[in-house]
Amino acid sequence: MATGQLFSRTTQALFYNYKQLPIQRMLDFDFLCGRETPSVAGIVNPGAEGFQKLFFGQEEIAIPVHSAIEAACTAHPTADVFINFASYRSAAASSMAALKQPTIRVVAIIAEGVPESDTKQLIAYAKANNKVVIGPATVGGIQAGAFKIGDTAGTIDNIIQCKLYRPGSVGFVSKSGGMSNELYNTIARVTDGIYEGIAIGGDVFPGSTLSDHVLRFNNIPQVKMMVVLGELGGRDEYSLVEALKQGKVNKPVVAWVSGTCATLFKSEVQFGHAGAKSGGEMESAQAKNEALRDAGAVVPTSFEAFETSIKETFEKLVEEGKTTPVKEIKPPQIPEDLNVAIKSGKVRAPTHIISTISDDRGEEPCYAGVPMSSIVEQGYGVGDVISLLWFKRSLPRYCTQFIEICVMLCADHGPCVSGAHNTIVTARAGKDLVSSLVSGLLTIGPRFGGAVDDAARYFKDAYDKNLTPYEFVESMKKKGIRVPGIGHRIKRGDNRDKRVELLQRYARTHFPSVKYMEYAVQVETYTLSKANNLVLNVDGAIGSLFLDLLAGSGLFSKQEIDEIVEIGYLNGLFVLARSIGLIGHTFDQKRLKQPLYRHPWEDVLYTK
């Protein structure tokens, strides 16, 4: 492995298995370091393609998403680092696929628990092809002021405190990612900071070893000393011992192997990582520390003295003129995310939508302030839910039951009416449910089911002005307006609409007042004297009775009633109800596997 540094200020990576936070942390680090280009060139998310929006400083950028590793490598040939956030189940296969790409030079495997046999294959392939594997079970690595892998070094605040936004003089390698963060801070306090830091991972078989990276650091001119943090278990540290004995390392190495407390336990103890388990005297922390000390490394007497050893070693290099501490620079301010700034009270931002009928924050959704659990526990029906979401209040039971009756009576009126016909034709054309439903709904208007609001509006205006049925009808005639809610293509004075009769019967029994309905009946009496088909239809019945519901309940002001009629609430009731039937017709045609509809010639008048 040896060679030199792994990363630079122009290094770019492919990120496997999209995770928003670690990618954004990489981009924030880029900005902090003053990089000109983002370090994440592309994202590989199996089965997905497109773009992911993230921030590069204050600028929002779109990072390409690819469904396959091969496609990503082809699209981004300069990206030579593969950061693998796959689970332990698929990490080996995806890592091997990346290693086989000619453009990939370094693979970092974040997952722990990757099968050891798979890891050995990855290591063998990487060595045979002069490539580097960091991990498994790693947080990654970092080159200060240049590039970092995923969540390495934690938050931006920690990165700034550890002075990782600019290069120092220390090369650091550890098995533990968590302890790496601790040592980055320690090193920054007593030296000019790290130049590069690597966490090789805590599994039994890491893709690269402590000595691999120490030997590599030895070849990097900017690295003046090395700090190594090992742990009990395994024999990785002994390869470093041999390198020191053979004179392959000519820079100071300060080392400590943690886990000396294991001797206090009577039985063998597992410490966190899979590899942190002593398998004999040679794998103990004490034996490794002694071997490193004998080989020439600076090894303190305890972990507490580790910081002092690092400090003294660095100061000696400075005194001998072998290094000059890096001058401190002030890093740029990372723009704070809006949601974070709002929560902390630093900024205020206008909202884009106002909602007064429902709230999905908290433990459960609420309809007009009523929790979902209460709606279910108190036995609310569809009418109650409509009253909450449409009228923002709980209406009396007779009102909500009337709403439910309207829904039931208006749900369908057979296959021959225009709305149902359109839905049937669309469904038979092979279109989906939503398309078929919308096709029927779009026919609703002044001539089909859309006259409820107009009926309520005109009946209310006439009644409130004390117009007689004669005055009302004749004034409408002079204006050239048909009376909404009056007239039917089939029903007659001697064949009334049964739905109208049911609604009127219910209202007379349960409503406190039916003044608007009675007025509509008087209008019907007058219009029937003109023509037998000018009966009160279901639109007129619902429109007039809803006026009685709103006025008689005592829960609505005159202004609120006018607004409800004006906005189109009552037509909404017909739309809601008829959607049930239109959906039914769609399912019916699909179930019957009906073919494409073609209108018969004999039903068309062809003329010039």
Check 273, 421, 510, 585 and give the catalytic one.
273
What is the C-alpha separation between 279 and 276, in angstroms, rounded?
9
Q: Are 459 and 540 in contact (CB under 8 A)?
A: yes
114 contact partners, CB below 8 Å, separation of at least 6: 88, 91, 92, 136, 137, 203
Q: Tell me which residue of 143, 138, 219, 205 sits closest to 175, measured CA to CA.
A: 138
Report the side by side order of strands in the sheet with 59-66.
50-56, 59-66, 40-44, 13-16, 81-84, 106-109, 132-134
206 contact partners, CB below 8 Å, separation of at least 6: 135, 136, 137, 138, 175, 200, 236, 275
Q: Tell me which residue of 142, 81, 85, 112 sits closest to 206, measured CA to CA.
A: 112
Q: Are 134 and 106 in contact (CB under 8 A)?
A: yes
In this structure, what token pair is assigned to residue 238?
């002994």
Please state, as a whole number, how many other Cβ atoms lie within 10 Å of the Cβ of residue 209.
20
What is the C-alpha separation between 61 and 360, in angstroms, rounded?
30
Report the relative pairing of strands 106-109 and 81-84 from DSSP bridges.
parallel
Q: Tell me which residue of 206, 196, 203 sits closest to 228, measured CA to CA.
A: 196
In this structure, what token pair is assigned to residue 348?
């205020």
Q: Tell me which residue of 276, 284, 187 sits closest to 226, measured CA to CA.
A: 187
197 phi and psi angles, rounded to 5 deg: -135, 135
413 as an active site residue: the answer is: no
CA distances (Å), origin 465, targets 184, 286, 393, 461: 83, 101, 29, 6
What is the C-alpha separation between 288 and 292, in angstroms, rounded?
6
Q: Are 540 and 520 in contact (CB under 8 A)?
A: yes
For residue 555, give the DSSP letter: -
Q: Are 174 and 200 in contact (CB under 8 A)?
A: yes
Q: Tell me which residue of 85, 83, 98 sits closest to 131, measured CA to CA.
A: 98
Q: Tell me which residue of 579, 486, 506, 496 sits closest to 546, measured CA to CA.
A: 506
In this structure, what token pair is assigned to residue 74?
């082809």
What is the C-alpha separation between 127 and 205, in angstroms, rounded?
14
Please state, as a whole number, how many other Cβ atoms lie within 10 Å of the Cβ of residue 603.
6
Please state, as a whole number, how many other Cβ atoms lie within 10 Å of the Cβ of residue 346.
10
Based on C-alpha coordinates, what's the Rg of the chain?
39
Which residues are catalytically annotated?
273
